[in-house]
Structure 1
Amino acid sequence: MTETPVSELDAIGAEAELARLSAELAHHDALYHGHDAPEISDAAYDALKRRALEIESRFPELTMATSPSQVVGAAVSSQFAPVRHGVPMLSLDNAFDGGEVADFEARIRRFLKLPEGEHVAFVAEPKIDGLSASLRYENGVLVRGATRGDGRTGEDVTANLRTIADIPERLSGSGWPELIEVRGEVYAPNDAFDAFNAAAEVAGSRTYANPRNFAAGSLRQKDAGITAQRPLRFFAYAWGEVSAPFAATQWEALQALRGWGFEVNSRSQRVEDAAGLIALYDGLQTDRATLGYDIDGVVYKVDRLDWQDRLGFVARTPRWAIAHKFPAQQAQTVLEGIDIQVGRTGSHTPVARLHPVTVGGVVVRNATLHNADEIERLDVRIGDTVTLQRAGDVIPQILGVVDAERAGRGEPYAFPHVCICPLRTALVKETTASGVESVVRRCTGELACPFQRIEHLKHFVSRRAFDIEGLGEKQLIAFHERGWISQPADIFRLARDEAKLDALSAEEGYGETSVRNLVAGIDARRMIALDRFIYGLGVRDIGEQTSIVLARAFESWPAFEAACLAAADGLPSEDWVRLNEAHAVSPRVVVALAEASPPERDPWPEAPLDQKIALAFPGLAAPARRGLATLADDWAGLVRLAEVARSEGPSEGLGQIAGVSGVGPVAARALALFFRETHNRAMVDALVAELDRIEDAEKPKSDTAVAGKTVVFTGALERFTRDEAKARAESLGAKVSGSVSKKTDYLVAGPGAGSKMADALKHGVTVLTEDEWLALIG
């Protein structure tokens, strides 16, 4: 499906598209940062983010705490203790060609008002493809190490970082501040990574897709002894919180870090102006394959630290630095087959099986084909020689067929119309009420489909859900194949089934200790936090962050369950959904239709339809009238639209969930559809019966000046970021909304406040500056 250019989006379309992009980016952030298992390429991710940022730039009033410009990394895991960074670990903007690098230098010159002819010095450093880490030293001694996490809060992996030889326990030399957070990248050299994978394959243990995933997985081991056996290295390149300045330039700082005992990349250089940056970039790109470690670009930083301070930040990125990404690497090979993978929600994804080929130093055997439409577009057939690309050095993709006109090509690939499971359930391409067809084909069997069932179970025991110690994917699949586990409740039943446990203890590879640990891991999760329970259910469109929001909103499982059951009984009709998804038909337009009472007989039989709409529903703008005209052919159709708006909308229960800030109608509808199915209800009831307690979410404070108040933040906030503001307000019992209404109590406005300020004045909402807000909350 062709995307509408951002320049052609109206405010309603932009809001919907930004919500979609935010959810998709959050999903990929969690996979990349939290699970070390990306499913799209860096280039594809960058394209999604650039489109989202373009929408935010054109419609700044749509920016929220969860918007792509405000988010860095992913939420931290509960596997490790959280660590609040003294100074945030932020992300960088990207450049993809020389023109964008020249623009970067030009922006710096304009901001600093530099005279023509004055050179700008930069430090250019290879962009290591590893895992960012921050090391806190007090009086020269390492006291704590953490991952980047979401940029504000990371994971405490001190014990694991201490095992890396490049990280000194005590700083050498002199001149280091009393307190300093040294930052850099944990990575795995290519030859050591290849040797590890070769040995793991022989031993039948886990192998890793690339050095980056290997480094991330190694650093997140619960047992630091395992990390110590992994060939990890560390390059230092930056710093966070410091008790005193220690350098005047970026280059001097790197030399200081080297003098204190850190490895600093020898290919880092101090150069001048955009021409110097591009020359260094070209040299590194040429030498890339010989470095011995993976890089995916070059990072440019203004050398003078006082200039860095003056340049400051835009949203979550510094003005004084940028990452110049390398283009994708390509090769050619033969397509030997197309396999289908079934996802947790029934999606059927085609995967190309390739004759092994080395691309950028990595052996590639599979590549994504995305969906049936992509196969048809490429006209790729088994036996074809295809061009393969590792965009961003992560997920390979096929660009096209080398010789599509050759004689004797195979038959066009026939995408299955039924699920590949034994049930042969029909596949469907979902269609929105407005007629837009999805490219994804899904099995309609849900939990009856064995492929979906096992994927649901994998999700249930995953680290972000129930995180059951000792029950990994391998064991889960084995137990499922035996018929021991087919739904989440069976996991807890297994821990009390003496016959099955005795049989397991007698098997090779288990033994009494392993079985005892498995039972302990399962029993430890009979008490579970509400947000983890919600996420573990695997409801489509309910991600980790949405689960947290829902838990905080409803506080307890009985309250949340009651809301979901009420929502399940109050789904709107398809006609109501179609009405609300029509172009330019806003909630305000639907209310106007609901309040109107057009007569059954047409009072204006000779008038054109657009005029009838204007007369029947006065006050509607031209775009809304055109949107309604696509749904009604005549007067009877208009009368029907008014009836639909008045009586076929969602129930109060569904609206209660949709009205939770950060949830919305898509997630609310997903919950309603899930709880409407009797087999899902039975699955949930069985699970709840096996648990000891679902812990209530922490209740918001009720004794603060803003408890129970609704707050909206707008404009370019300077004293805090959007997510900091939202978190602080919610911790004080306030509700943070993304839009202003007559129910809003406070609008906190930074510079550049736009339409929300006008709405606040219209509704008589109290408007506060950032300082006034801080004074109010103490």
Structure 2
Amino acid sequence: MNKTVEERIEELREIIRQHDYNYHVLAQPTISDFEYDKLMQELIDLEKAHPHLITPDSPTQRVGSDLTKEFKPVQHTTPMLSLANTYNEDELYDFDRRVKEGLPASEKIEYVCELKIDGVSVSLIYNDGKLAVAATRGDGITGEDITPNVKTIKSVPLSINKKILSAYNLSNFEVRGEIYMEIEAFNKLNQERELLGERTFANPRNSTAGTIKLQDPKIVAKRPLKIFLYYLFSDELKSNSQYENLQLMEKLGFPVNKNYKLCSNMKEVIEFCKAWEEKRDDLPYEIDGVVIKVNSLAQQKVLGTIAKSPRWAVAFKFKAKQITTKLKKVIWQVGRLGTLTPVAELEPVFLAGSTISRATLHNFDEIKRKDIREGDTVLIEKGGDVIPKVVSVIISKRSKDSKELLPPKFCPVCGSKLYRPEGEVAIYCENNLCPAQIRGRLLHFASRGAMDIEGLGEALINLFVDMNFLHSYSDIYNLKNRRAELINIERLGEKSVDNLINAIEKSKEKSFEKVLFALGIRYVGAGAAKKIAEHFLSIDALMKATEEEIESIHEIGPSISKSIIRYFSEKKNRDEIEKLRQAGLKFEMEKPKKTLYKFAGKTFVLTGTLSSMTRDEAKDKIISLGGNVTSTVSKNTNYVVVGENPGSKLDKAQKLNVTILSEEEFLKMLSNK
């Protein structure tokens, strides 16, 4: 191979990467579009002539040609937690007090304030300095692989400069941030869609969320997506603070929002929040608040997290934007658990980037407290600039025709008598066969976070309910007996039906905690289901449990325990569980194996691509057997597992005389008793 060609290709890549950074991150281009296009064309021509030199991180490989048929699940090594919200100074001072109570009195506390971008969260994983995986937040534990789509965002570096990585002894790391659209670009996109007769988007965030899940990266590349990164993590990293990490990300070439500040006390934090609430409309993109983080990473570790959010960070939400309009009618919607929610139908009005025609009224007590009537002029706002709600009635504009509202006595969908538990504000339809509940419950049961039945989405569930094929969860597992009927349904066909039946069969492999969550017991979310399953180990033990026994589990309170007891007191629910058990679903945890801790005290490093499993799967297996997995080889490493195309870790392991395992040897270790 002529080395000068190889050198020129690498030289062109570095030049183009630098110009991409100048243009898309710094907004300071140093060459014309014509000159840039000439460099790119030269690189394209050289790679076409020498295709074996094309690499995934080349600037020519940003836009893939293959359609994404499915978005594969990605397990987050560190959960992508949501933030607790604050809305005023007192709540910020409460946060400050809790932080101080959680740390030694002698420690100095600093906070980093960052603008809260109204976008879509994403995780970017780099291996050996190259973008390997981009994933959505998902449920915080498991996201979806959107790598081809994220690669089209030109401000996302496909690889990091080797000299900079070497300077920080960094190769494998994760960054997180928000993908967003600027307001002007979003408006232009909507104008173009309107001219083409296509449906317009409600707001920049919804447009962004829809775009990153498109199947064709070529279409994604045409959408004006941008990104800001705000989080950096690596086992190799020696930084001490969030402030240092933000600066390091800038040096690595990532677009970081410049409007961050290091504050020495809560007074400075509040001044920052107030200033940006005033200036928010001056920005070219939408923000809905400020994120406040404890600066010290060591202090963050001490403070830790609660179930869904970190104790060391909080969001300050700006006041919602408000406007008045007329409330035409109130309708009652039935949720998947039978909860009735009043919804106001409004005269359409434009507010905070989208047209509002409906708003939540929460519950009947709220209607009564605010004296809301049909025909009233009402003040509405977007709570957190997302969900519209009715704030109050403009009494001075009330007409004689306004109609006082009464609580419903019967379900608007099935006509069943409604139930309101003592001490609760919610009204429920108790009929589990109510069509609204059947659809909602089935959709929840089949969803990704529950049984994950691919292909059984809202459209098919609605169709099967209408055809009387589905009345309960167990009916799903009898669909295989209707194969001939399903094949004859228009737009389904033999292949689609067989794929669906296979997906239903595959769902039987889901763990007890997933099945428990899928049952849709009121108040039992994914986190609670996991804790309960791990405590009781089987559905039979749970069904026999008392409220006190259930509440003995950390963070499981009376609402959950009472709901569980009520659920299992219903014979039809117990009968349904038996049907699901007969269908083959798992209602107990696997018994611990004797070899559970055979890797206790052993440290593993994984390098290269494994053919039999992903790195995350290998990591899970090691941890389940008591071992530890790190990303850096040191004298304390016991084993380095080597797959295809291993990186520099193999060389380091050989120098340190660390035991090297092939994939075959590793699998043998896993299977040995």
How would you bin the TM-score normalised by the shorter chain? 0.5 to 0.7
Question: What are structure 1's unaligned runs of at least 5 residues?
Answer: 1-77, 115-119, 432-436, 568-652, 706-726, 734-778
Q: CA deviation at 1:475?
A: 1.8
CA–CA distance in 2 between the matches of 1:189 and 1:235?
A: 12
1:337-352 pair list within 5 angstroms = 337-352=329-344
1:298-309 pair list within 5 angstroms = 298-300=290-292
User: Given the superposition, is the C-alpha separation of residues 554 and 283 from structure 1 closer, same or farther in structure 2, using an over 3 Å criterion?
Assistant: closer
CA–CA distance in 1 between the matches of 2:152 and 2:465?
A: 37
Aligned CA RMSD, in angstroms, stands at 4.6
1:700/1:732 contact within 8 Å kept? no
Q: CA deviation at 1:297?
A: 1.3
CA–CA distance in 1 between the matches of 2:146 and 2:247?
A: 26
Partner of 1:357: 349
Q: CA deviation at 1:123?
A: 5.7
Per-residue CA distance 1:381-420 (angstroms, 9 max, x = gap): 1111101121212222111111257441412012211111
Taking structure 2 as the reference length, the TM-score comes to 0.64
Q: CA deviation at 1:342?
A: 0.9
1:518 aligns with 2:500: yes
CA–CA distance in 2 between the matches of 1:695 and 1:225?
A: 44
Q: CA deviation at 1:207?
A: 8.9
Q: CA deviation at 1:360?
A: 1.8
Match of 1:453 among 438, 441, 445: 438
Q: CA deviation at 1:322?
A: 5.5
User: Given the superposition, is the C-alpha separation of residues 497 and 360 from structure 1 closer, same or farther in structure 2, using an over 3 Å criterion?
Assistant: same
1:181 aligns with 2:174: yes
Partner of 1:168: 157
Q: CA deviation at 1:103?
A: 8.8
Partner of 1:536: 518
1:374 aligns with 2:360: no
Matched position secondary structure for 2:424:
strand
1:697 aligns with 2:586: no
Partner of 1:419: 411
1:472 aligns with 2:457: yes
1:428/1:442 contact within 8 Å kept? yes
User: Given the superposition, is the C-alpha separation of residues 666 and 125 from structure 1 closer, same or farther in structure 2, using an over 3 Å criterion?
Assistant: closer
Partner of 2:116: 127
CA–CA distance in 2 between the matches of 1:562 and 1:310?
A: 40
Partner of 2:429: 443
User: Given the superposition, is the C-alpha separation of residues 430 and 234 from structure 1 closer, same or farther in structure 2, using an over 3 Å criterion?
Assistant: same
2:328/2:347 contact within 8 Å kept? yes
CA–CA distance in 1 between the matches of 2:359 and 2:267?
A: 37
Matched position secondary structure for 2:442:
helix
Matched position secondary structure for 2:420:
strand
Per-residue CA distance 1:466-524 (angstroms, 9 max, x = gap): 221111112211221222322223333333324422321xx2x4444433433333333
CA–CA distance in 2 between the matches of 1:309 and 1:420?
A: 55
Matched position secondary structure for 2:402:
coil
Q: CA deviation at 1:187?
A: 2.7
Q: Which amino acid aligns with 1:529?
A: S
1:112/1:311 contact within 8 Å kept? no
1:339/1:350 contact within 8 Å kept? yes
Q: Which amino acid aligns with 1:84?
A: T
Partner of 1:237: 230
Match of 2:420 among 418, 429, 438: 429
1:308/1:320 contact within 8 Å kept? no
1:83/1:156 contact within 8 Å kept? no
Per-residue CA distance 1:656-694 (angstroms, 9 max, x = gap): 9647735677655544544444433444444444x3453
User: Given the superposition, is the C-alpha separation of residues 224 and 514 from structure 1 closer, same or farther in structure 2, using an over 3 Å criterion?
Assistant: farther
Q: Which amino acid aligns with 1:446?
A: N
Matched position secondary structure for 1:497:
helix
CA–CA distance in 2 between the matches of 1:239 and 1:164?
A: 19
CA–CA distance in 2 between the matches of 1:528 and 1:292?
A: 45
Between the two proteins, the alignment pairs up a number of residues equal to: 522
Question: What are structure 2's unaligned runs of at least 5 residues?
Answer: 1-70, 598-619, 627-673
Partner of 1:680: 573
Per-residue CA distance 1:205-256 (angstroms, 9 max, x = gap): 999875446545665779978876765421023322263557x986675455
CA–CA distance in 1 between the matches of 2:213 and 2:540?
A: 34
Q: Which amino acid aligns with 2:506?
A: A
2:72/2:145 contact within 8 Å kept? no
Q: Which amino acid aligns with 1:500?
A: E
Q: Which amino acid aligns with 2:449?
A: R
User: Given the superposition, is the C-alpha separation of residues 373 and 244 from structure 1 closer, same or farther in structure 2, using an over 3 Å criterion?
Assistant: closer
1:173/1:259 contact within 8 Å kept? no
Taking structure 1 as the reference length, the TM-score comes to 0.57
1:73-88 pair list within 5 angstroms = 80-85=73-78
1:105/1:274 contact within 8 Å kept? yes
Identity of aligned residues (%): 36
1:258/1:264 contact within 8 Å kept? yes
Matched position secondary structure for 2:448:
coil
Q: Which amino acid aligns with 2:255?
A: E
Partner of 1:570: none
- Report which stretch shifted further, 655-664 or 671-680: 655-664
2:515/2:587 contact within 8 Å kept? no
1:82/1:156 contact within 8 Å kept? no
1:552/1:699 contact within 8 Å kept? no
CA–CA distance in 1 between the matches of 2:201 and 2:446?
A: 21
1:494 aligns with 2:487: no
2:303/2:312 contact within 8 Å kept? no
Q: Which amino acid aligns with 1:390?
A: K
Matched position secondary structure for 2:254:
coil
CA–CA distance in 1 between the matches of 2:303 and 2:572?
A: 49
Matched position secondary structure for 2:380:
strand
Matched position secondary structure for 2:553:
coil
